[in-house]
Amino acid sequence: MRHILRPTALCLALAMTDPVTAAPAADTLYLNARIYTADAARTEASAVAIHGNTIAYVGDEKGAAQWRGPGTRVVDLDGKLVLPGLIDAHVHALGVVQPDVCDLKSQGMSLAVMVDFLRACLAEHPLPAGEWMMVPQWNFSMGNEPDARYPTLRAALDAVSTEHPIMLRGNDGHHGAANSLALSRARGPDGKVIGYSRQTLAKEFSDIRALVAVDAAGEPSGGITEGAKGRLGAPGFFGTDDFTEVVPKAAQVFREQGITSILDAAVDPSQLVFWRGLEDKGGMTFRMRAALIRRFDDPSARPTQAQIPEVVKEFVSARERMERESKLIRASHVKMFVDGVLEGNPYADPPTLPNGAVLKPYLQPRFAGTPGGEDFHVSGYVDPADPACAQAPAARMDHPATERFRDAHGFDPAQCLQSSGVLEQTEEYLHAYESAMARAGFAVHTHAIGDRSVRVAIGMLEEAKRLNPDAQHSMAHAQLISPEDQARIGKAGLGVVFTHAWTVVNPPYDFSVIPFFERIDGKDLYRDGYYMRNVYPTAAIARLGGIVASGSDAPVEERNPRPFHNLEQALTRANPDPAIPGVLNAAERLDIHQAIASYTINAARVLGMEKEIGSIEPGKKADLIVVDQDVLALAAHGEERKIGDTRVLRTIFDGREVFSRE
C-alpha cells in the first residue's frame, strides 16, 4: 500500500516555518519526486528540503515552498524514486577495490585451465625466487575439476611453480589452497616450521586436522581452511599494510553504489588511521562503524583467553580516539568468528567435509561420474554403523592399509568418521571474549554459519544484551538456523545480517553443501528436507521479531557491493540466469518493503544509528539517493528480476551531492 504523508506530519513540518520561529531557508530542495521515506508507516512524499547536513522537511511541493530562499538550490527530479542512503551492514571496505595482482575474480575454472591461467599470470607478474604468489578471489565452490594430470589442487599448483609458495585465497575469506612448497612452511604449536604432512596432521596439527584436506594416502591435497591457512606464514589478506591509495577508491565505490553508511565487519585498529586520513582530506563520503578484531587475516594469531583484558584496553583506546578525532568514524563494534563455512569438496577423494559447526553430524556422501560433468552425482552414502567401519581406525594407520580397505569396501575409511564441524574457539573462550567486550560498551557482531554455531552465537548475543542493553548486537550470514533458534532470535530482537545474493539456487555450489546434510538420490539436490526448509530464513526472522538487515560481505564472491542485486535476490531467491530453474526456500522471500528496510532503517539499527539515519525524516542526516528505476513499481508488477539493473543517479551524503550521473 502506498502511504501519503499524513496531515499531522505535514502540519508539523509547516509549523516549523511559522514567522515567529522561522527556520533558515533550505540549502537544497528536491521536488517532483517519489520519495520513499522508509519510516514506520512507509510514508511517501514528493519533496524534501535539506538545510546543512540535516533533512529539514519532507512533504509536498506546497509545503516545500516555505523553505525556499534566494540562495536555495532547487532540483526537479522528474518523478524519479528517492530512497534513504543505503547502509551495508556487513562489508570489508578495504577489499572492494580491485588490486593490480593476479586475481581469479571468482571465475570457476577446471584445474587444467587454472594451471594455464596462473602460469600466464606469473609470467606477467614475475616474482623473485622464493617469494609468495598470492592469488585472491579463488572460487572454491565452482570449477576445480581434477583430471589425470592434476588430480588435486596441490598437484595443480605444483605445476604452476615449485620455486614460489602459492596460496589461493578463497572468495569467501575462509577457504584456501596451497602448493607443496607453501604446505611445507606450516609452523607447529612451538613456532617451528615442520610442514603439513600425514604424520604432522596426526600429531602436532591434530587439533586442526579437519581444516586440512587430504588425499587417499592421507597426505595434504592442497585445500586448507580457516586457521590452517595462518600456520603457513603467508602475507596478510589484503597483501599490504599501507592503504593510503586504497581508501579513496573504496569511498568512490560506495558513493557510486548509493551506500552512505557501512559496518566494516573486521577492522584491525591499525587500519583506522587510513580512514581518518581520508576524512581529513574531505574524501570520506560515508559513515563508518568499525567492528574491531585483531589480525583478521590470521586466525591462528588471535589473542588467548588470558590476553582478552589487554585487547579490551586496546579497543577502548581506539574507540575513544575516534570519538575525539572523527565525525564520521566510530569504533563501536567488535567482530567475533564463531565457526567457518558449510562447503565441502565433492571432487576430493575422499570428499572433504564442511567445517562449519552443525547440530547433527555431516553425512558422508559418495560421488561418482566425471567431476563437473553432466554425469556427476551422489552414488550413495557411507553408514558409520556399517560393520566395515569397525576396521577403519586400523586402516587409517598407513597407506597400504587404507588401500586394502578401499579395495575391499569401495570407500575410504576416513568416511566412517563422524564430524559436526568445529567452532573457531571453545565456547568458554567465546563467552569470555563476548562478555568482556559487552561490559566495555561494545556492540558484538558475530560470524555464524552452521546451525550449531548460530545457537552458540544466540547465547552469546543474549548475554551481551543483558550486559550492554543499549547496543544492538547482531550476527552475520546465518546460513542455517533451526526453527527453535529462529524463534529465539525473534524473542531477543537480535539483528541478523544476510547477504541476499547467496539466497539463490546455484547447482555447482549447492552440490558442495546439500549432499552433506540430506540423503540425495543422484542429482536431485533440492528435495524437501531440513536444509531446504531452514536455509537463510529471512522472512521467518522478520516475522518472529528479529531485525533483518543486509550486508554485501564484499569482497566475498564479488568485490562490488551491488546493493540492488542483493535487493532483487531478497525478493526472488532465484538464480539471475533464467535458464537455471527453482527457488531456494521460497517461503523465505521478502517483500519489497522488507527488502528496502533491510538496507535502510533495519541496517541503521544494527549500526546503532537509527536515530540519525536509515529513513528520510525531518531531523535526520541528509543521506539519500536518487535511482533510475522505480523498484517498488517493478516489484508491484512482477518485474523483480529487473531490480538488479537499477543505477544510482545521485548520492547525497551529509547534505551534499557527492556523486551524480546526470
124 against 363, higher pLDDT: 363
Q: What is the 3-state secondary structure (H, E, C) of 440-493?
A: CCCEEEEEECCHHHHHHHHHHHHHHHHHCCCCCCEEEECCECCHHHHHHHHHHC
Asked if residue 475 has pLDDT above 90, the reply is yes
Across residues 406-434, what is the average pLDDT?
Answer: 93
DSSP 8-class letter at 173: S
The verdict on whether omega for the bond into residue 7 sits within 30 degrees of 0, i.e. cis, is no
Min mean pLDDT across 292-306, 555-569, 606-620 is at 292-306
Q: Is the pLDDT of residue 10 over 70?
A: no
- Residue-wise pLDDT for 480-539, tens only, equals 999 999 999 999 999 999 999 999 999 989 999 999 999 998 778 998 999 999 999 999
Say yes or no to pLDDT of 298 above 80.
no
pLDDT bracket for residue 395 (50, 70, 90): low
pLDDT in tens, 62-107: 999 999 999 999 999 999 999 999 999 999 999 898 877 778 888 8
Q: Say if residue 204's pLDDT is above 90.
A: no
pLDDT bucket at 330, cuts 50 / 70 / 90: very high
Q: Concatenated DSSP letters for 553-614? A: -TTSS-SS--HHHHHHHHHH-B-SSTTS--BSSGGGPPPHHHHHHHHTHHHHHHHT-TTTSS
Q: Looking at residues 211-225, what average pLDDT do you find?
A: 87
pLDDT for 239: 59
> Would you call 661 exposed, middle or buried from its count of C-beta atoms within 10 A (0-12, 13-18, 19+)?
exposed
* pLDDT in the model for residue 228: 83
Q: Is the pLDDT of residue 17 over 60?
A: no
Residue 152 predicted with pLDDT over 80: yes
CA distances from 514 to 405, 486, 505, 575, 587 (A): 27, 20, 11, 17, 18
Q: Which residues of 202-227 are buried (b: 16+ CB within 10 A; e: fewer)?
A: eebbeebebbbbbbbebbbbbbbbbb
CA 303 to chain centre: 23
588 compared with 402, residue with greater pLDDT: 588
443-460 pLDDT per residue, tens: 999 999 999 999 999 999
Q: Note the pTM of the prediction, 2 decimals.
A: 0.88
Q: Output the pLDDT for position 20.
A: 37
Reported as a pLDDT band with limits 50, 70 and 90, residue 23 is: low
Q: What is the pLDDT of residue 203?
A: 86
At 622, is the pLDDT very low, low, confident or very high (cuts 50, 70, 90)? very high
